[in-house]
Amino acid sequence: MRIYNTLTRRKEEFVPLEEGKVKMYACGITVSGEAHIGHGYQALIYDIMRKYLQKLGYDVTYARNYTDVDDKIIAKSHETGIPADKYAAMMIEEIDRVMREFDVDDPTIWLKATENIGNIIDFVQALIDKGHAYPTECGDVYFDVHSFPDYGMLSRRTIEEMMAGVRIEVGEEKRDPADFALWKAAKPGEIYWESPWGKGRPGWHIECSAMNRAAFGDQIDIHGGGRDLIFPHHENEIAQSESLTGKQFAKYWTHNGLIKVNGQKMSKSLGNSLLLEDLLKQYTNEAVKFALLQYSYRQDINITDNLFPDAEKHLTSFYTTLDAVEKKYGYGSVGNKAIDDAFNDAMSDDFNTALALSRLFGLFKTMQQKLDAGDPSCAEDACQIRRTYSLLGLFKKKSSDYLAEVAAKSPKSAEADVIPDDIKALADQRWAAKKERNWAVADQLRADLDAKGYVIKDSKEGYTISRKS
């Protein structure tokens, strides 16, 4: 088993700290809003990592956290009038519901920042005692970045590079602009806890270090999260934890790629966030998983209009073949070990779901050929595919149930397919321009239709027009 380690920038043979056991932690969601597709993807990736390591025979303890107190949550509290703790609890309940619909299993251990305030305070005090942190007169506590010589080891940047353009804000009592907050003094109207430094709350970075240590002790095997967490969050976790313990915090650092929408980074400010719940109203959870897992987990994923519809089409085709095989020959019982071996070869190379999924097309083609030839061994192929690929969250449903679910998520009426007269007129003008080889006009009209939310597809017989997904 080889894993790409962000710390060393290479794939390494996986050797856990303790033989046969794996301690694994992934940074979870800051519950300031609903779960979007990026949250779902990250949760899916680390659920799969955990399950594959278990398949290899490891005893895996997987911890995942909710950040349930931070600046964004406090801002939402002020905006909604709901106390910060109640707002966070409400959002956790909602996110849990959506994740269950997405069919991602819970970790072994759930951790919440607000349930670890005592651990966080003890951690901060220990850093002060060791000379790595300092309190201020206003009640804040900062980590002294220059007290940790290896700061920057994960992101491979110097302190000067990381802090270019950063200045001490008004009211801050930092010794150096690079220092970061471990404890923040409470402002009027903010949620707070009593501490040796006054009323306040933890900084974001210290939460994960303290919760990790409470769950696992000084060291863990795998620490993960999105690539956007490398700096500053994971860099700061290393500095805090290793300054306190003098030991390597995490042996392997793993980071999944980010989600883009039509080439742009997904963000609330751009208005292009895709809520996970909205996607699951349109597509099956297996189709969403299939679409995302076609990429290496370390790649960014560009969500285009066709990504999820194409995934649904592929899975519908696969399930149709499964349905035909199982109706004719029933459910196999022995399986086909070669299918499982090929899957393991792919997954043992840094959890290569893209390669594992690419093999499905050939497997189903062979299975269809066996079915057409009257070869009953196709039932064992179907049996093995279900057993093996269920680890990725696929082929877990009865074929008829899956196909019925796809049909139920299709548009309920023909209204969605009705093309307005003005759009038809533009499409006709474009077709006429194309026949006259007036390519500039045809291209402009296509662009106009695209901007209005319609897609044109040409054929020898003419064209078809449809709304974008």
**What 3 state SS string does the chain have?**
CEEEECCCCEEEECCCCECCEEEEEECCCECCCCCEHHHHHHHHHHHHHHHHHHHCCCEEEEEEEEECCCHHHHHHHHHHCCCHHHHHHHHHHHHHHHHHHHCCCCCCEEEEHHHCHHHHHHHHHHHHHCCCEEECCCCCEEECHHHCCCCCCCCCCCHHHHCCCCCCCCCCCCCCCCCEEEEEECCCCCCCECCCCCCEEECHHHHHHHHHHHHHCCCEEEEEEEHHHHHHHHHHHHHHHHHHHCCCCEEEEEEECCEEECCEECCCCCCCCCEHHHHHHHCCHHHHHHHHHCCCCCCCEEECCCHHHHHHHHHHHHHHHHHHHHHHHCCCCCCCHHHHHHHHHHHCECCCHHHHHHHHHHHHHHHHHHHHCCCCCHHHHHHHHHHHHHHHCCCCCCHHHHHHHHHHHCCCCHHHHCCCHHHHHHHHHHHHHHHCCCHHHHHHHHHHHHHCCEEEEECCCCEEEEECC
Tell me what pLDDT residue 468 has: 73
For the sheet with 133-135, list strands across it. 133-135, 141-143, 180-185, 200-202
Tell me what pLDDT residue 415 has: 44
Tell me what pLDDT residue 267 has: 63
Determine contact, residues 452/439, Cβ cutoff 8 Å.
Answer: no
Q: CA 385 to CA 447: how far, in whole Å?
A: 43
Q: CA 43 to CA 50: how far, in whole Å?
A: 11
Ranges of residues in the chain whose predicted pLDDT is under 70 = 163-171, 265-272, 411-418, 459-461, 469
Tell me what pLDDT residue 414 has: 38
- Residue 316: Cβ within 10 Å count: 15
Tell me what pLDDT residue 410 has: 77
Note the Cα 245 to chain centre separation in Å: 30
Residues 212-222: pLDDT tens digits? 999 999 999 99
Mean pLDDT for the chain overall: 92
Between β-strands 133-135 and 180-185, what pairing exists: parallel, antiparallel or unpaired? unpaired
Tell me what pLDDT residue 420 has: 85
Tell me what pLDDT residue 168 has: 61
Determine contact, residues 251/216, Cβ cutoff 8 Å.
Answer: no
| Structural tokens at position 249 | 């915090």
Tell me what pLDDT residue 462 has: 73
Separation in Å, CA 239 to CA 18, 121, 232, 311:
23, 17, 10, 42
Tell me what pLDDT residue 165 has: 54
